[in-house]
Structure 1
Amino acid sequence: MARILIFGGHGKIALLLEPLLTARGDEVTAVIRDADQIEDVRATGAAPVVFDVEAASREAMAALIAGHDAVVWSAGAGGGSAERTRAVDFEAATRSMDAAADAGVRRYVMVSYFGSSLQHGIPASNSFHAYAQAKAEADEHLRSTELDWTVLGPSRLTLGPATGRIDAATESSDEVSRANVARVIAQALVEPATIGRTIRFNDGDEAIDAALRRR
């Protein structure tokens, strides 16, 4: 049994992840931004906590994270202004990483996306630039820490079924179901071979546990 804290606890992937974790006996804290989301989270077996990641200080985040065994960042601004995207996807994300270190919680799993890279090539005139830049810089910050980090890079998300099989050896982005992403996160949390790695993946033919073990 592990105590897992999920930032972005009402997201589509998080709502699929939470019942996987609680079913195996983990205690899950789901951080949400709106009290209207409480019942949806409770239905998964997770414990909802209303908390404003955008406004919270590093100290407040550390207090929230303390006592857990791992942090999953699955939060995001969800589009909108470039300023808010920066505030959530980079500033709040990196603050949570530093707060995890302050709290002595070393395991940290970042849910990023397949194309996340400082060499993303998205022009500043493109509306996607703010997100691409924020995610790339947040991922780089995580890699620079002494946390036991994993960066997960799923490709284009679909509503397909949970096949339990992925392709984590590809260099080309395709698509992956959110249900499989949830399973990848759950397995990454218990697979030591994922620590210190960036894992980009599509739906595929290899069982998730085997794909994550293979370097």
Structure 2
Amino acid sequence: MSRIIVFGGHGRIALLLAPLLVERGDEVTGVIRNPDHAGDVEAGGASALVADIETMDVEALAEIIRGHDAVVWSAGAGGGDPQRTYAVDRDAAERSMDAAELAGVRRYVMVSWIGSTADHGVPEGDSFFAYADAKWAADEHLRGTGLEGTILAPGTLTLDDPTGRILIDPEGRGEVSRADVAAVIAASLVEPCTIGRTLRFGNGGEQTALPIAEALAC
């Protein structure tokens, strides 16, 4: 059994992830900002922890991370306000990594996006620029830590049923169901081969996609 703390515990992916982890015997803490969301988190078998990660410093984050075996960052501002996007998707994410190091929790899985590269190509005047810039900065911060980090970079998210199969795509294309992203997170937490890697993926086609465990293997 592992103890997993999931930031962004009420997100669509996190709500699909928690039952997968609980079913295999893990203990899950879902971090949420709105206490009204606690029931949804707990319905999936996780424990809800109300905390405002946007304002917490490294020491405060370390206190809630300490005692866990792994951190999953699936939190986000949801777009719209660039200032808040940077505050959550970049600054809070980076603080959580520093907090994980401070707390002695080395395993860290970042849910990024398939286009998170230095040359992501989003124009500065585009409303999506803040998100693209913030995610790239957070990914780079993780690469610079001493954590056992994995960056998962899914393609455009869909509400399709899970396929159980993905295509690793270094070129950064494709769509993928949220349910399959949740399954990839769960699998990556127990697959040492994912440590230190950035995995860009989509669902691919029937002829190209592999079972998730096979796709993540070395």
Normalised by the size of structure 1, how large is the TM-score?
A: 0.98
Indicate whether 1:213 and 2:201 are aligned: no
Match of 1:91 in 2: 91
Aligned residues: 214
Deviation at 1:80, TM superposition (A): 2.0
- The alignment partner of 2:95 has SS state of helix
- The alignment partner of 2:186 has SS state of helix
**Which residues of 2 match residues 109-148 of structure 1 at below 5 A?**
109-148=109-148
Equivalents in 2 of 1:120, 1:90: separation in Å? 16
Residue identity in the other structure for 2:21: L
Deviation at 1:81, TM superposition (A): 1.1
Match of 1:19 in 2: 19
- The alignment partner of 1:183 has SS state of helix
Equivalents in 1 of 2:170, 2:48: separation in Å? 36
Equivalents in 1 of 2:139, 2:216: separation in Å? 19
Indicate whether 1:155 and 2:155 are aligned: yes
Equivalents in 1 of 2:55, 2:13: separation in Å? 23
Match of 1:49 in 2: 49
Runs of 4+ in 1 over 4 A off after TM superposition: none
Residue identity in the other structure for 1:146: G
- The alignment partner of 2:100 has SS state of helix
Contact 2:80 2:127 (C-alpha < 8 Å) held by counterparts: no
Equivalents in 2 of 1:138, 1:27: separation in Å? 26
Residue identity in the other structure for 1:80: G
For residues 69-117 of structure 1, give each alpha carbon's deviation from its aligned partner in whole angstroms, at most 9, with x where no partner exists. 0000000000121110000000000000000000000000000000001
Match of 2:70 in 1: 70
Deviation at 1:172, TM superposition (A): 4.2
Identity score, percent: 61
Match of 2:196 in 1: 196
Normalised by the size of structure 2, how large is the TM-score?
A: 0.97
For residues 118-174 of structure 1, give each alpha carbon's deviation from its aligned partner in whole angstroms, at most 9, with x where no partner exists. 211211110110010000000000001110000000000001111110001452411
Residue identity in the other structure for 2:19: P
Match of 1:167 in 2: 167
The worse-fitting range, judged by mean Cα deviation, of 196-205 and 2-11 is 196-205
Equivalents in 2 of 1:44, 1:9: separation in Å? 10
Residue identity in the other structure for 1:149: G
- The alignment partner of 2:143 has SS state of helix
Equivalents in 1 of 2:172, 2:90: separation in Å? 25
Equivalents in 1 of 2:40, 2:132: separation in Å? 29
| RMSD over aligned Cα atoms | 0.8
**Which residues of 2 match residues 172-183 of structure 1 at below 5 A?**
172-183=172-183
For residues 169-215 of structure 1, give each alpha carbon's deviation from its aligned partner in whole angstroms, at most 9, with x where no partner exists. 4524110000000000000000000000000001032000010013x
Deviation at 1:27, TM superposition (A): 0.2
Unaligned runs of 5+ in 2: none
Deviation at 1:16, TM superposition (A): 0.2
Match of 1:10 in 2: 10
Match of 1:59 in 2: 59
